[in-house]
Structure formats: structure tokens, C-alpha cells
Amino acid sequence: MEAMGILKKIPAEERPYEKCINHGVAALSDAELLAVILKNGSKGESSVDLARKILLLSDYDKSILGLFHLTLQDLMRVKGIGKVKAIQILCLTEFSKRIAKKSAKNALLFTSPKTVADYYMEDLRHSEKEQLIMVMLNTKSKFIMDKLITIGTVNSSLISAREIFIDALKANAVFIILVHNHPSGDPIPSREDIKVTGRIREAGELIGITLLDHIIIGDNCYLSFKEKDLLK
């Protein structure tokens, strides 16, 4: 009954479902979109109020982008958010990442560093840890598959060129591209990044697999070793 009382106090035009029906989904604010996912508020507050609290949670970004940095524990600390709602929100963020990635893949040209960076951007720009991905291509530079090589610091002592090229040979790859992120948001390569790249490039030359590029993903930006002439 109390929830019904709260609902009655909210003008119809401010209720997400009614607003969506009357004006279309694009008219909803970030908080209203999240409120539709939540369905219900908590004692004494509407689902929109609860959604606004969640959007302010992240220390990284007090907006919808902050959702990408929230954990299950972060969400469950909000009064009114239990495990089920927290999991729903996490699934929503993962779903949005996959949609963005799929959309980028439809126009993917692996000879274009920007296109490759766009494809992996949403997966990697929000990651709190460095991830190194190897992209494997055929003789026509068409995508075969990609593989996560390591999570954590991209360190030459932790990355086995042998293991990398075993996977590439199994996939019949002729070209490979390395993609990894910098959680700091700055895509400028470190000495270790340059060392790892050179080591893998040289190993590839010996067995006939060419390293086309190493792309570092920052916060909505990237750096390409190919574009900066750093592969020599």
C-alpha cells in the first residue's frame, strides 16, 4: 500500500513506463532507463530515486558510464538493491558492451587501426586491469579468432611468445594484432610495452607470422604502433 502511495505522488509524465509509452524510449533519462530495469524502488523512494543513487556510486564517473566500474558488492551496498537486482544491472552493462562490439564488427577492417580500436574499445576501456588480446587473421587479413593472452601487467617475463604462436599456428593465422588496455586511460606505451612488442614481432618473423600492429586502448582513445612507426 505504501508503494502505491509513493506511485500516486509521482506525476504520470515522470513515471518511466508511462513516459516511454507517451514519448518513446529515447525520451527517458539515464536514471529512468535504469529504473525500468529495477522495476521497483525501496521503502520510501521510487525506482527512479533508487536509480539516481546507483548512478552516483562510482568514483570513476558519476554518470551512466560509472556502471561499468561497479561490482556486485558495490551495488548491494545500496539500500533496496539485493543480489538479484545487482546481477540484473551487471548483466545490463555486459549486454551493452556486447552490442557495441557487435555493431563495430559489422564494419570491421583489420588493416585500419582505428576500426580495430573501436571494436575492442568498450570491452577494454573500462577494465581495471591490463588485458592483452591477440587477434588472428588469415592471408586476406580477415578475422579468424581472438584470444585473451594475459590479465594483469603486460610484462615480457610473463608472456610466452611460444604459447602465442602455438595458438596462431593452430588457427592457421598469417597475421596477428596485439591489443591491450591501460587502465590509467593514457595509451602511451611503456618501455615494457615496446619490449614485449619487439620480442613478439621478431619471433613471428622466424616462423612466417607477421605482427601487423600493437594497439593500446586508453579512455576513449588509442595508440597504434603501426601509425606511430614503432614496429621497427
C-alpha–C-alpha distance, residues 127 and 214, integer Å:
18
Neighbours of 54 (CB within 10 A): 24
Please enumerate, as own/partner, the contacts of 26-33 that have beta carbons within 8 Å and a separation of 24 or more.
Answer: 30/55, 30/63, 30/64, 31/55
pLDDT digits (tens, 9 = 90+) for 67-86: 888 889 999 988 889 999 99
| DSSP secondary structure letters along 98-120 | HHHHHHHHTT--TT-HHHHHHHH
Q: Which distant-in-sequence residues (6+ apart) come within 8 Å of 196 by Cβ?
A: 154, 155, 156, 159
State residue 2's pLDDT score: 45
State residue 168's pLDDT score: 95
Roughly how many angstroms between the first and final C-alpha of the chain, as a whole number? Answer: 71
Residues 118 and 216: beta-carbon distance below 8 Å: no
pLDDT band at residue 209 using 50, 70 and 90 as cut-offs:
very high
Q: What is the rounded average pLDDT of the residues 184-197?
A: 91
- Indicate the SS3 state at residue 212: strand
pLDDT band at residue 227 using 50, 70 and 90 as cut-offs:
very high
Q: Which distant-in-sequence residues (6+ apart) come within 8 Å of 94 by Cβ?
A: none
pLDDT digits (tens, 9 = 90+) for 14-48: 588 888 888 888 888 888 989 888 888 877 788 88
